[in-house]
């Protein structure tokens, strides 16, 4: 596979930025893991490190989606992008904005008093989890996303090939852009603050992002194994439909204990219990399609795509459903059980998705038919085994915490500092394993297609 349109190469800029941020995310993740054992470790406090950890994650995944979308839209519309200079501008504008935000976080971490109020909002850090970026950055991010959506939409309008895949992909991205807005106004009530905050966080990761995942999975299945468009798109509609039918009202599982009325216990309990269903259909879809078609050239791309479907179901689905019922959640809410779910869900649903898209599209962008895939597999196993053990250790810590703190009534700090210490130590060790995987992936990303394909590939 080679690219048909020169402007598809823009995807590579976004991928490179994404891959570097992935590395940053995991390095600060390890610092955070050590701070669980030794809180005074490092010049920046845990709050800054964690802000960097989760913001780097969200941004690199979004940037990865953007790169992949430019590639897919051009491919599906069978034309060059509407404006390559605009895409380049949008890329560099994003890089500059993100860099400024990161510098702001670090300054605020070193000098908390620098986070002054400017026209009613904090200058450097809004102090709201995941959407810490200050208002001026929010506005720049919205402008960047609007330019990106404009460019993609105009590309589609050039040839008017409204394929299902790009319709759903762009629909998901428009939904994503809209759902950023509820996080951009101040409310005096912390209850309302968290209510709207969940619109952003939940309707992104359990709504818009899963729609994007459904569309990209369909695209990959079609490209990798030549599956029929009609069949792939029909199942895609069913999957993303079920995502929305369960996920929108599934937001209710965040409205159990934040001061909202008790009918959310019913709404959230019922609909969020159904949320794993579409993820299970995606796994079945990936396996069925793969079985029916056996001529695969890019095996490692398919490997990552199928792994994404499986771990999306395990991380987002299974690790979610274990604590989604209000009867269980009453005891586990706010414990490490949530952290465990967050780690495996983001890894399975989105990290593997963006990595899969990179392995599916990058060879074409670099103009190679075959490439040495041994590092790609190595990195997969380092990442996946490490992540599974990270999640098991945090799940263990969460169970101990739930039992000792919530059921027995021991103090939070006593449980964290004494009874869960070994879990933190093991988690940090597996974190280093994960970093090894990321390191191999980064090397592979930069070398892919730039060395002989047969080199050591038998090993």
Give the residue, chosen from 93, 147, 258, 322, that forms a contact with another protein under the rule CB under 8 A.
Answer: 258
Would you say 411 or 451 has its CB closer to another protein? 411
Give the residue, chosen from 89, 136, 237, 389, that forms a contact with another protein under the rule CB under 8 A.
Answer: 237
181 binds another protein (CB under 8 A): no
Residues 6+ apart with CB under 8 A from 188: none
Give the residue, chosen from 262, 291, 294, 458, that forms a contact with another protein under the rule CB under 8 A.
Answer: 262
By rule CB under 8 A, what string of x and - marks binding of each residue 390-409 to another protein?
---------------xxxxx
Residue 113 CA, distance from chain mean position: 32
The CB-of-442 to another protein minimum distance in angstroms stands at: 27
The CB-of-61 to another protein minimum distance in angstroms stands at: 19
Distance CA 276, CA 262 (A): 23
CB 302 within 8 A of CB 224: yes
Q: Is residue 41 classed exposed, middle or buried when 0-12, 13-18 and 19+ CB atoms within 10 A define those classes?
A: middle
Half-sphere exposure of 159 (CA within 13 A, CB side): 16
Max Cα–Cα distance, the chain, nearest Å: 65
Would you say 114 or 455 has its CB closer to another protein? 114
The CB-of-125 to another protein minimum distance in angstroms stands at: 5
Give the residue, chosen from 230, 291, 294, 295, that forms a contact with another protein under the rule CB under 8 A.
Answer: 230
The CB-of-319 to another protein minimum distance in angstroms stands at: 15
Stretch 107-126 residues interacting with another protein (CB under 8 A): 108, 112-113, 115, 117, 122, 125-126
Binding segment for another protein (CB under 8 A), chosen from 194-202, 280-288, 344-352, 364-372, is: 194-202
**121 three-state secondary structure:** strand
Stretch 209-228 residues interacting with another protein (CB under 8 A): none
**104 three-state secondary structure:** helix
CB 219 within 8 A of CB 287: no
CB 130 within 8 A of CB 55: yes
255 binds another protein (CB under 8 A): yes
The CB-of-349 to another protein minimum distance in angstroms stands at: 19
By rule CB under 8 A, what string of x and - marks binding of each residue 128-147 to another protein?
xx--x---------------
CB 360 within 8 A of CB 67: no
The CB-of-67 to another protein minimum distance in angstroms stands at: 25
The CB-of-196 to another protein minimum distance in angstroms stands at: 9
Q: What is the dihedral of CA 185, 191, 194, 196, to 10 degrees?
A: -50
Stretch 314-353 residues interacting with another protein (CB under 8 A): 330-331, 333-336, 338-339
Distance CA 11, CA 313 (A): 27
**362 three-state secondary structure:** helix
The CB-of-126 to another protein minimum distance in angstroms stands at: 6
Stretch 22-81 residues interacting with another protein (CB under 8 A): 35-36, 39-40, 45-48, 50-51
Which pair of structure tokens corresponds to residue 457?
């590939």
Would you say 23 or 249 has its CB closer to another protein? 249
Would you say 255 or 347 has its CB closer to another protein? 255
Distance CA 379, CA 326 (A): 38
Which pair of structure tokens corresponds to residue 399?
């169970």
For residue 118, the cross-strand partners are 121
Distance CA 46, CA 33 (A): 9
For residue 117, the cross-strand partners are 122
Binding segment for another protein (CB under 8 A), chosen from 11-19, 96-104, 344-352, 411-419, is: 411-419
The CB-of-416 to another protein minimum distance in angstroms stands at: 8
The CB-of-110 to another protein minimum distance in angstroms stands at: 11
Total residues contacting another protein by CB under 8 A comes to: 79
- Backbone phi and psi for residue 115, each to the nearest 5 degrees, phi listed first: -80, 65
């Amino acid at each position: 596979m080679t690219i048909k349109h020169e402007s598809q190469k823009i995807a590579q800029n976004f991928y490179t930025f994404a891959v570097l941020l992935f590395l940053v995310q995991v390095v600060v993740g390890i610092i955070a893991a050590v701070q669980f054992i030794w809180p005074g470790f490092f010049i920046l406090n845990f709050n800054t490190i964690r802000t960097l950890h989760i913001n780097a994650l969200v941004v690199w995944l979004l940037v990865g989606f953007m790169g992949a979308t430019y590639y897919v839209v051009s491919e599906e519309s069978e034309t060059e992008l509407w404006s390559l200079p605009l895409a380049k501008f949008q890329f560099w504008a994003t890089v500059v904005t993100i860099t400024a935000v990161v510098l702001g976080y670090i300054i605020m971490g070193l000098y908390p008093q620098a986070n002054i109020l400017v026209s009613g909002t904090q200058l450097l850090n809004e102090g709201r989890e995941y959407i810490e970026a200050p208002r001026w950055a929010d506005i720049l991010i919205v402008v960047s996303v609007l330019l990106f959506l404009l460019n993609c939409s105009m590309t589609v309008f050039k040839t008017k090939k409204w394929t299902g895949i790009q319709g759903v992909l762009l629909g998901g991205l428009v939904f994503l852009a809209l759902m950023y807005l509820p996080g951009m106004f101040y409310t005096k009530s912390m209850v309302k603050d968290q209510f709207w905050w969940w619109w952003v966080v939940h309707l992104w990761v359990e709504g818009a992002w899963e729609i994007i995942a459904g569309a990209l999975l369909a695209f990959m299945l079609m490209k990798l194994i030549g599956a029929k468009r009609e069949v792939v798109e029909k199942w895609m509609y069913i999957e993303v439909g079920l995502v929305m039918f369960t996920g929108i009202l599934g937001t209710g599982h965040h409205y159990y204990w934040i001061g909202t009325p008790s009918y959310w216990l019913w709404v959230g309990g019922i609909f969020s219990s159904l949320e794993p269903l579409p993820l299970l259909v995606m796994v079945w879809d990936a396996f069925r399609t793969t079985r029916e078609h056996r001529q695969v050239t890019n095996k490692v791309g398919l490997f990552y795509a199928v792994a994404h479907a499986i771990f999306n179901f395990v991380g987002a689905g299974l690790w979610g459903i274990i604590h989604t019922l209000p009867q269980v959640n009453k005891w586990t809410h706010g414990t490490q059980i949530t952290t465990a779910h967050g780690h495996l869900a983001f890894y399975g649903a989105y990290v593997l998705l963006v990595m899969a898209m990179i392995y599916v599209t990058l060879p074409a962008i670099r103009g190679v038919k075959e490439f040495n895939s041994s590092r790609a597999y190595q990195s997969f196993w380092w990442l996946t085994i490490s992540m599974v053990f990270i999640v098991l250790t945090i799940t263990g810590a969460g169970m101990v915490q739930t039992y000792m703190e919530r059921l027995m009534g021991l103090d939070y700090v006593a449980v964290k500092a004494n009874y869960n210490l070994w879990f933190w130590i093991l988690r940090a060790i597996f974190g280093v394993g994960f970093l090894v995987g990321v390191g191999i992936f980064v090397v592979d990303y930069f070398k892919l297609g730039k060395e002989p394909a047969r080199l050591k590939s038998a090993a």
